[in-house]
Amino acid sequence: MADENEQQSACEAGRDEQHCKCRQRRAAAEAAAENASAAQQPAAHHCKCKHGDAEESGDEQPKHCACKHDAEGYAISTEPHLGYVADLASLIEIQQESTVSRVVMREDGLRVVLFGFDKDQALSEHTAAMPVTIQVLEGKLRVGGEGREVELVPGGVVYLSARLPHTVYAVEPSKMLLSMFDNRG
């Protein structure tokens, strides 16, 4: 019961944007809101996170689904589905003399994060608890690990195993796609 209450609280707080039943509806609403002109009203952003939403089913007391949640409280779909992001590079801006990041997808076993690096910005040596891939969407990065360094440009991919110390350096203003594969369940 406590787990179900936590899931319901996460829903009501709007933290479970990736909920199995309303993720696609929410993504469509957000896309419509982003594309809407200033005169239009933005779409609702609250995730209902319930099987048989009360308004649609007529239930007075809708039930919460039995979805899984990641460590940050986001719901993870347990049903087969297709996730899609149309234009990744447009979801992040490069900021002067900064490195910025944004999570763009959370799924069972996968987290996708966009990074924007200004020229000469870097991620100092660090490790990841899970295997990752790095792809450049725009620009040029230098990725180092295992005593090697590779220049990564659009069209290439770097794979780093879990716990491998590595660095990332922006040779020029760049946008990077980081995919983290977590099979710890």
Structure confidence by residue, pLDDT tens digits, 124-182 = 999 999 999 999 999 999 999 999 999 999 999 999 999 999 999 999 999 999 999 98
Distance CA 92, CA 90 (A): 6
Q: Which amino acid is at 55?
A: E
- Residues paired with 111 in a beta bridge: 106, 180
Confidence (pTM): 0.61
Tokens 């019961």 belong to: 1
Strands 132-138 and 63-64 come out as unpaired
